[in-house]
Structure 1
Amino acid sequence: MARWRGSACLGLCCLAGAPALAEEAKPDRRNPDQPNGETLTIDEKGITLAFPDVAKLRVGGKLQLDYGAAAIRQAGFPEPFPENFAVRRAWIESYLTLGKSLELAFQYDFADPMRPINDAAAAYTGFENTLLTVGNMKEPFSLDQLTGDNTTLFTERSLADAFAPARNLGFALGRHGKDWTVVASVFGGNANTGVGSEGVAATARATYALLHEDDRVLHLGLAGSFRDLPRDGQGLSLSSRSEAFLYQRNFVDTGDIRDASSVGRIGLEAAYRDGPFLVQAEYIRTEVERAGGARSVSFQGGYVQASVVLNGKGRAYKLAPDYGATYATFSGVQVAEGDRVSRGGIGVFELGTRFSAIDLDDAGIRGGIERDVTVGLNWYPDSNIRIVADYVRSHTSPSAVQGGRAIDADAFIGRFQLYW
């Protein structure tokens, strides 16, 4: 289990935990310490140093602390959570804007010793409504995956996220209009594990908003990805941790498909927002081609989830990102000034529920079939704090573990999240 050993992040966490102390150093041309009219802002968005028309640097981060308990109904199954507490993410991140056409981003996770570098990218924004981004970033695939870690509805993404390619090193060209987005990209492997270790992929995504108003959005999306895998014998493995980071073992797991020569993915997505209410769904199908004349195998998964913000505005629809390929996503819940606990309010509450499923059984590969039901409550006491409580009911039959027998599990996951 990963451990957080970063001390630099702790000081910034404490700083961000006091949004009421936000202050801004106003430019003063008579002050020799501010000869260029620069401003220094410290608030819930982090630390921002701006030089007018020249550069802007923002330093932020996130801290996610998870606590959980789980029970397996089948006798003889090992303890599902070897530890009940873990640091899920402990990020430090920086964003630098140079002039009016260059964006640089870097994110480092102290809680992940295997893949600490997340986004490390540079984007050119000089063309109208167009982004060209190079670096380690998310491939444009799956609305669930492209939603930021701070703003996912539950502590973890759905079972179908096992098919999303997530972050790798490459380049992406994206363009958007008033209601549509198109992104095309080419990627290699991940910057942490080796750029050439996972072959080369071409990934694209297109979205269109049939409705696009301030409080009403009807979003449709289509994504596809094809990756040619290297012939190094490592193959491909697909698995899911049952929507809880604390699980010691995956209930569904294909193991290494060592003769895999390529993997193709297609994803369909839809979402509808009406004020505080949001419902979204995805279906992903994955086909793995195999060398030596072996039959290809197909896997599938998907989810439907719904949420409602009980005493605040709904999740806004963001068409274009500042960099990268995360087009057409829904942002997090905003806490109005009067609702903040630090201002005498009670915070903002959000309810959510989800059904998700994954099928990793085909042509002699018995990875398992799992279905999960999740209900959760999010409380946003202030503008940069979230407290999450999720209950996940899992049913796996057959399972990749326990000799293919069925597994029924119940898990409660709580999270304290600080982000700035």
Structure 2
Amino acid sequence: MKRDFRIHQRWLAGTAIGLAALAGWAHSGFAADAGASAQTLPRFVQADLGVPGVTLDERGITVKSPDDAVRFRIGGRLQLDPGFGGTNPRIPDGFGSNIEVRRAWIETYLTINNAVELAFQYDLNTDRTPIQDAAIGYHGIKGLVVSLGNFKEPFSLQQLISDNNTTFVERALPDSLVPARNTGFAVAGYGDRWTLAGGVFGGNINTGVELGGIAGTVRATYAPILSESEVLHLGVAGSFRSYDQNDRSLSFSSKPEEFIFQTTLINTSTIRNANNLTRFGAEVAYQNGPLRVQGEYIRADVGRSGALSGATFEGGYVEGAWVINGKGRRYALNTDYGTDVAIFKGVQVGETERVSRGGIGVFELAARYSILNLKDGGIAGGVERDWTAGVNWYPDRNIRLMANYTHATADGSPVVGGQRIEADIAEFRLQLYW
């Protein structure tokens, strides 16, 4: 009963966010159509709310000071995921439900003198980790960003790419080995082709900054080919986290790359007496016009005290995507705060392609293979392999519709007594973001 009540709350919150987004999109679109042709429309059409310095556009509600020295923006994102599927052998209650609210975020950004950025993101859809980014960044010196707060550690290309812009509904299997968001201090530098980001991090702000030990994480990238239409991206990352004697519980797990499937097919359970965790990542991506190929290898080495031997877990993925009737994704070396430098942004929807301007939107096809091995050092966590195919439709700049099909195979799965299990899942997503 309590779970049903929480689901209703999340639906209401998500619906409210979505309606606000659609209202802003429709208002700006209709107001523009009434007074301008598609050829003369600006990139971001603004609606006057009748309050000096306040505008509503495709990036949300923005409040500006008279001299434009201070800007405050309210945005958000809503992701609604229906889906279905099955497993062999059958797992009872493998699916939480056939439709889930994946994310329902409220986001606020305060910019001061184009040099200081304060960001706060809150997910109404989760009780466990509602706070996402909660950070302050200084980027007043060209080529340098200094950040403090809760944000992503500089590790893994696919993790650093925003949830709004991932190619598939979920990230590939090796993402379970990646540190993601934690509280700390970081410095990121970037030039014409390179980036270097590093920082010191504790635990996540939601579960306790003092928990999970202390980590040092660094990522370096270089783009030997970089033009408006062609990019070759190379990157490496490393992280070392030490645990104190009172906090040595560590585990890894993964489920197929679809959110509605709630059961992990492979997992290590709790790894006893973990002293430290060393991570290594290598990434490569090549984009030529609308075609992009991307892959990563990620490894995690767990050091343990006493007579227990260490354990090594590893995984990787390779994916390809084709934007059928649009431009390739924009490659960005810089950021306003945090460590998300040298990443690919979202698919670009031109004015003439927008459905609200009489176009058909932009279509993207994608395929991915990923593998994750959680079996080593006496830990029988299993090995999973996923094949995923997807199609994305971008009817406008604030909307994306996604369809993914995943075939997952897990060998040595603890869920079925160490035997093989297969899963076939189809998941869809309606995404609004502003």
| TM-score w.r.t. length of structure 1 | 0.94
Mapped to 2, the partners of 1:211 and 1:118 lie a distance apart of: 33
Q: Return structure 1 stretches of 4+ with deviation > 3 angstroms.
A: 24-27
- Does residue 422 of structure 2 align to residue 408 of structure 1? yes
- In the alignment, is the contact (CA less than 8 A) between 1:16 and 1:419 conserved in 2? no
Mapped to 2, the partners of 1:138 and 1:183 lie a distance apart of: 11
Indicate the larger mover: 288-297 or 7-16: 7-16
Match of 2:46 in 1: 23
Once the two structures are TM-superposed, the CA of residue 233 in structure 1 deviates from its matched residue by 5.4
Match of 2:39 in 1: none
1:70-89 matched pairs, under 5 angstroms: 70-74=85-89, 76-89=90-103
* SS across alignment from 1:92: strand
- In the alignment, is the contact (CA less than 8 A) between 2:365 and 2:391 conserved in 1? yes
Indicate the larger mover: 50-59 or 183-192: 50-59
Name the CA shift for 1:100/1:380 in 2 (closer, same or farther; >3 Å): closer
- In the alignment, is the contact (CA less than 8 A) between 1:297 and 1:362 conserved in 2? yes
Mapped to 1, the partners of 2:277 and 2:130 lie a distance apart of: 25
Mapped to 2, the partners of 1:367 and 1:92 lie a distance apart of: 36
Within the candidate set 330, 337, 347, 1:323 is matched to 337
Match of 1:333 in 2: 347
Deviations for 1:270-325, whole angstroms, at most 9, x for unmatched residues? 00000000100000011000011321100000100000000000111011111100
Gaps of 5+ in 1: 28-32
Mapped to 1, the partners of 2:173 and 2:154 lie a distance apart of: 18
Once the two structures are TM-superposed, the CA of residue 79 in structure 1 deviates from its matched residue by 3.5
Mapped to 2, the partners of 1:24 and 1:82 lie a distance apart of: 41
Once the two structures are TM-superposed, the CA of residue 6 in structure 1 deviates from its matched residue by 2.7
- In the alignment, is the contact (CA less than 8 A) between 1:17 and 1:418 conserved in 2? no
* SS across alignment from 1:65: strand
Once the two structures are TM-superposed, the CA of residue 400 in structure 1 deviates from its matched residue by 2.1
Deviations for 1:35-89, whole angstroms, at most 9, x for unmatched residues? xxxx322111111112234201111000000011011122x52142130000000
Mapped to 2, the partners of 1:179 and 1:233 lie a distance apart of: 40
Match of 2:358 in 1: 344
Mapped to 1, the partners of 2:410 and 2:425 lie a distance apart of: 14
Mapped to 2, the partners of 1:140 and 1:276 lie a distance apart of: 27
| TM-score w.r.t. length of structure 2 | 0.91
- In the alignment, is the contact (CA less than 8 A) between 2:76 and 2:106 conserved in 1? yes
Question: What amino acid does structure 2 have at the position aligned with 1:63?
Answer: L
Cα RMSD, aligned residues only: 1.6
Question: What amino acid does structure 2 have at the position aligned with 1:9?
Answer: I
Within the candidate set 187, 193, 210, 1:173 is matched to 187
Mapped to 2, the partners of 1:24 and 1:66 lie a distance apart of: 30
Mapped to 2, the partners of 1:258 and 1:390 lie a distance apart of: 37
Match of 1:393 in 2: 407
* SS across alignment from 2:263: coil
- Does residue 150 of structure 2 align to residue 136 of structure 1? yes
Deviations for 1:306-359, whole angstroms, at most 9, x for unmatched residues? 000000001110111111000100000111111111111111000000000000
Match of 1:30 in 2: none
Mapped to 2, the partners of 1:387 and 1:16 lie a distance apart of: 19
Match of 2:34 in 1: none
Mapped to 2, the partners of 1:345 and 1:80 lie a distance apart of: 40
- Does residue 55 of structure 2 align to residue 41 of structure 1? yes
Identity %: 48
Deviations for 1:197-247, whole angstroms, at most 9, x for unmatched residues? 111000000000010100100000000001112322551010112111111
- Does residue 230 of structure 2 align to residue 216 of structure 1? yes
- In the alignment, is the contact (CA less than 8 A) between 1:139 and 1:203 conserved in 2? yes
Name the CA shift for 1:418/1:16 in 2 (closer, same or farther; >3 Å): farther
Once the two structures are TM-superposed, the CA of residue 17 in structure 1 deviates from its matched residue by 4.1
Once the two structures are TM-superposed, the CA of residue 196 in structure 1 deviates from its matched residue by 0.6
Deviations for 1:111-167, whole angstroms, at most 9, x for unmatched residues? 011000000000111222100000000000000100000000000000000011000
Question: What amino acid does structure 1 have at the position aligned with 2:335?
Answer: P
Question: What amino acid does structure 2 have at the position aligned with 1:56?
Answer: R
- Does residue 290 of structure 2 align to residue 282 of structure 1? no
Question: What amino acid does structure 2 have at the position aligned with 1:15?
Answer: A
Mapped to 2, the partners of 1:281 and 1:319 lie a distance apart of: 18
Mapped to 1, the partners of 2:351 and 2:128 lie a distance apart of: 39
- Does residue 32 of structure 2 align to residue 14 of structure 1? no
Within the candidate set 203, 206, 226, 1:192 is matched to 206
Gaps of 5+ in 2: 31-44
Mapped to 2, the partners of 1:103 and 1:165 lie a distance apart of: 23
- Does residue 135 of structure 2 align to residue 112 of structure 1? no
1:213-362 matched pairs, under 5 angstroms: 213-232=227-246, 235-362=249-376
Once the two structures are TM-superposed, the CA of residue 249 in structure 1 deviates from its matched residue by 1.0
Match of 1:207 in 2: 221
Match of 1:127 in 2: 141
Indicate the larger mover: 338-347 or 135-144: 338-347
* SS across alignment from 1:391: strand
Within the candidate set 55, 60, 65, 2:75 is matched to 60
Mapped to 2, the partners of 1:375 and 1:11 lie a distance apart of: 30
Once the two structures are TM-superposed, the CA of residue 24 in structure 1 deviates from its matched residue by 4.1
The total of aligned residue pairs comes to 410
